[in-house]
Amino acid sequence: PGIYLNGTTYDIVETTGGTVSGSFGSVLLPASKPLLSFALNQSSNVVELEVTAPKVTTVATNPVEYAMAEYLDRIMPTASGDLAAVLGEFQGLESSQLGAAIAGMNSGSYTSLSKVSMAGIGLFLGDLKQRMGKLRVNMMTADSGSGTKPILLAYSGSAAELGRIVTIEQSTRGQTMNGLWINSYGQWGDHQALPGYAGYDYTLYGSAIGYDYTFPGNLLLGASLGMSRAEVDFGSSQGDGSVNSVTGALYGSYYAGNAYIEGTFSYGKQRYHNSRFISVGTILREASGKHDADAFTTYLGAGYNFTANWLTISPFASLRHIHLAEEGFTETGADSLNLAVESRKTDSLVSELGLRLARSFAIGNASVIPELSAALNYDFDIDDQVVTASFAGAPGNTFSIRGEEVEKYGAAVAAGLTFIHRSGVSAVLKYLGEFRERNSSHGLMGEFRYLF
């Protein structure tokens, strides 16, 4: 067992000082495969077996396969030990087996985990924007004085958020603006496969707690801490993974009249675990990888609130930047096929433009507020999401896999119901859906808060 190099010959019959005459009655050679075939050659003094081993790049069908194939072509001539045995098995695969084998050996799952990690950051950011919207409403309604001014119902910002709240003057007058809040959320989504890139499904759940304070002059500031976990299942039995996150943030908002601006800065620690299933002919292995990352997020948003027949109409816009710095690591469990993945940095910049509608209904000492929103978002695609790695059995050579093409345009919708009691207790239930051509996500969020 081992690698066959193109053009290698093996002598079957050889004479010294004589000739080879006649021929074999029948010759049974191994069946030809896309990457390996044999031919019997006969001359006057030798009968030999000649190897034809085309480059792996000749069978690549997409850019990801080509990047891996070029790497395999480079390391095959010097491979030894376990790696030589695996690549020899690879040469003997049928055409239908090659794609799955190459997919199992590459680093694509780590790009997918990074994307899911950023989705978790987006959920946490949504909590903060939601909270700022609620506090801003209280401040604006309190400023309405005797109640002769129209009620202003505010919204927290982007369509990626999981909630915001509007209220009426009667339920907020007299309350101070110290607020303690806690919520929980969940999201599930799917991402369709592309040639060379595995599809995946994920579920994400978490919770956050925060405290905020209102200063004179229409300024509010707060701090929050959140934890979340995402579980990812890669399609075509290629593996699974998880992301655990702990994130802290500072947030603030300022309003003037019906207009507002808001901002958030957060830092999070991400911990990744990935299992990569490898199938090369009769060779079956599982590679496990663990590594950490630091995530820095900056968000800026602004909006304006119009009222018409007690209906609040609020256009909004926002910009969000995420910087994700992942450490390098080496997998375990797959011998020479373990990947040594280099450290990398990934950036994401997304803008959003949308509109929301809200209406408040008074019920005794409480109010109920249904709301709807819709938005378009745009991904500026500022990073090619390259993962550079090498096999543990060939540490002197690396390959690089670029992330799949980003879907720049997306749409989001949200629907929610908020209950607010005069005592300062409130509860929120909200749905959020986000859609692109190849992926979609759905989320639910519930929150309890108390103003004192």
**pTM for the full predicted model:** 0.87
Q: Where are the domains of the chain?
A: 9-105, 108-451
Res 137: pLDDT: 55
The three state secondary structure string of 59-91 is: HCCCHHHHHHHHHHHHHHHHCCHHHHHHHHHHH
Report which residue type is found at 316: F
pLDDT 10s digits, 345-373: 999 999 999 998 988 888 888 889 898 99
Q: Are 246 and 236 in contact (CB under 8 A)?
A: no
Question: How far, in Å, CA of 186 to CA of 183, rounded?
Answer: 11
108-451, superfamily in CATH? Answer: Autotransporter beta-domain (2.40.128.130)
Tell me if 136 sits within 8 A of 252, measured CB to CB: no
Question: In this predicted model, what pLDDT tens digit does every residue of 220-271 receive, in sequence order?
Answer: 899 999 999 999 999 878 899 999 999 999 999 998 888 999 999 999 999 9
- The pair of structure tokens assigned to 270 is 């991400």
Residues 445 and 164: beta-carbon distance below 8 Å: no
Under 8 Å between Cβ of 412 and 350 = no
Rounded to whole angstroms, the Cα distance separating 216 from 204 reads 38
- Residue 164 has a pLDDT of 36
pLDDT at position 138 is 54
Contact residues for 395 (Cβ-Cβ < 8 A; gap 6+): 340
Tell me what percent of the residues of the chain surpass a pLDDT of 90.
65
Closest CA to 6 of 72, 73, 78, 54: 54
CB 239 within 8 A of CB 109: yes
| Range 144-170 average pLDDT | 39
CA dist 425 and 389 (Å) reads 52
- HSE-CB for 436 with a 13 A CA cutoff: 16
Per residue in 423-445, pLDDT (tens digit) is 878 888 999 999 999 999 999 98
